[in-house]
Amino acid sequence: MPTINETVSEEIRAQARKLLEDGTVAAVIGYGSGSLPMTVKPLVVRSPEDCRKLIWNTFCVLNLANYLPATLKSVEPPRGPRDPKPEGPLPKVAICATGCWSRSIVVQIQEHQVARDRVVVLGVGSRGMVSRRKVEALFGGREILAVEEGDHDLIIQGADFSETINRWDVVRDNCQTCTHPDPVLVDVRIGEPVSERKNPNPFIQVDALEQKSGDGRWAWFTEEFATCIRCYACRNACPLCYCPTCFVDDAKPQWVGKSLDAVDTGLFHILRAYHCAGRCTDCGTCETVCPKGINMRMLTKKLNKDVLNLYGIEAGMQPDAPLPLTTYAMDDPQQFMANEPGSGKEGK
């Protein structure tokens, strides 16, 4: 019996091939296999023959929406910066998307980075993706040479060992607290839909931090970000960070210092998180790609919680809904107003 992900891979290959063959799309964004165990390569496929390279497994941890705007641009006929848009519809791009990635695509549509009618979403219900770091931690320094994936187990092999572990135990933290694993946007359904997850508290990790004292939170913040090397993988892997020039790269004026000063590093992380407020879908990519294992996702998750509590909105659930932070309602909470009781004092 093929595993669930083997069936999904087969369907992705078949659908991608069909869409490319009949000319519906000019490119398909998916995953190819990686050179190390538990790694995958993001892949843009442009010919039906190359579709055999597409795979799907439990290690697809990067949000593919990150590649969507550039891939859409790449399939347009070349034109100069001032040339008018060509007549007629532009070529389409298909993209594999889970719950959180599809919500990122919705945000891209809301923010006019992506045109809805140029995207074909190959919707895959997510069963949660596995964290390579969590698996490696279980094997404390023993090198893992191969991993075989079953529906509920992983068989981990090294030079002198072979052990079976439970898959869900090593699923990423963001996936474990995810409530919308099924894509919100589906043009072509891949595999079976998965149901909403009843998660008693999706913000459990943030709550644990919030319960600390001010000093405790500060200690967490300083310690967590102390190992940051400012490589910006967290920023570059996120589909929300599409500014042509990021504030940290600006040189005139320069907003943030360039070396490893804790103040500069902290500023980068706080600002990055705030720029994602009301837009982040907790896909966990930022946390996954960090070479230092820093949990910067707690900042965006906290803002997700605030936006939900203040405005009742979760990012990317509906393409035609307004963005929470670019709209207002008369009854929006405004604790910051000076004439409101308890103003300026959080939590009063």
Residues that bind another protein (CB under 8 A): 34-36, 39-44, 62, 66-67, 70-71, 74, 141, 143, 145, 223, 226-233, 235-237, 245, 249, 251, 254, 257-262, 288-289, 291-293
Among 196, 21, 187, residue whose Cα is nearest residue 116: 187
Q: From another protein, ligand SF4, none, which one binds at residue 257 (CB under 5 to 8 Å depending on kind)?
A: another protein
Using CB under 6 A as the binding rule, whether residue 134 contacts ligand SF4 is answered as no
Q: Does 282 bind ligand SF4 (CB under 6 A)?
A: yes
**How many whole angstroms separate alpha carbon 279 and alpha carbon 266?**
21
Choose the one of ligand SF4, another protein, none that binds residue 240, judging by a C-beta under 5 to 8 angstroms depending on kind: ligand SF4
x/- map, 233-252, ligand SF4, by CB under 6 A = xx--xx-x------------
Q: Which two tokens stand for residue 76?
A: 């347009």
Structure tokens at 268: 């980068």
| Inter-residue contact 31 to 55 (CB < 8 Å) | yes
Q: Where are the alpha helices (DSSP H) in 130-259?
A: 132-138, 173-176, 204-210, 214-225, 233-236
Token pair for 338: 């000076």
Stretch that binds ligand SF4, among 85-93, 127-135, 158-166, 294-302 (CB under 6 A): 294-302
The nearest distance, CB 304 to ligand SF4, in angstroms, is 8
CB 122 within 8 A of CB 53: no
By the 10 Å C-beta count (0-12 exposed, 13-18 middle, 19+ buried), 255 is classed as middle
Taking the complex as a whole, the smallest distance from the CB of residue 62 to another protein amounts, in Å, to 7
- Is cis: bond before 253, omega within 30 of 0? yes
Candidates 38, 296, 298, 303; binder of ligand SF4 (CB under 6 A) is 296
Q: Are 263 and 222 in contact (CB under 8 A)?
A: no
C-alpha gyration radius of the chain: 21
114 binds ligand SF4 (CB under 6 A): no
Closest contact distance (angstroms) between CB of 135 and ligand SF4 is: 19
Give me the least distance between CB of 183 and another protein, in Å please: 22
Q: In the window 151-190, what residues touch ligand SF4 (CB under 6 A)?
A: none
Which tokens in the block code for residue 160?
A: 């002198």
Q: Does 231 bind ligand SF4 (CB under 6 A)?
A: yes
| Minimum CB–partner distance for residue 329 and another protein (Å) | 37
Exactly one of 297, 302, 316, 324 binds ligand SF4 (CB under 6 A); that residue is 297
Q: Round to whole Å and give the CA distance between 295 and 38.
A: 20
Provide the mask over 58-87, with x wherever binding to ligand SF4 is found by CB under 6 A and - wherever it is not: -----x------------------------
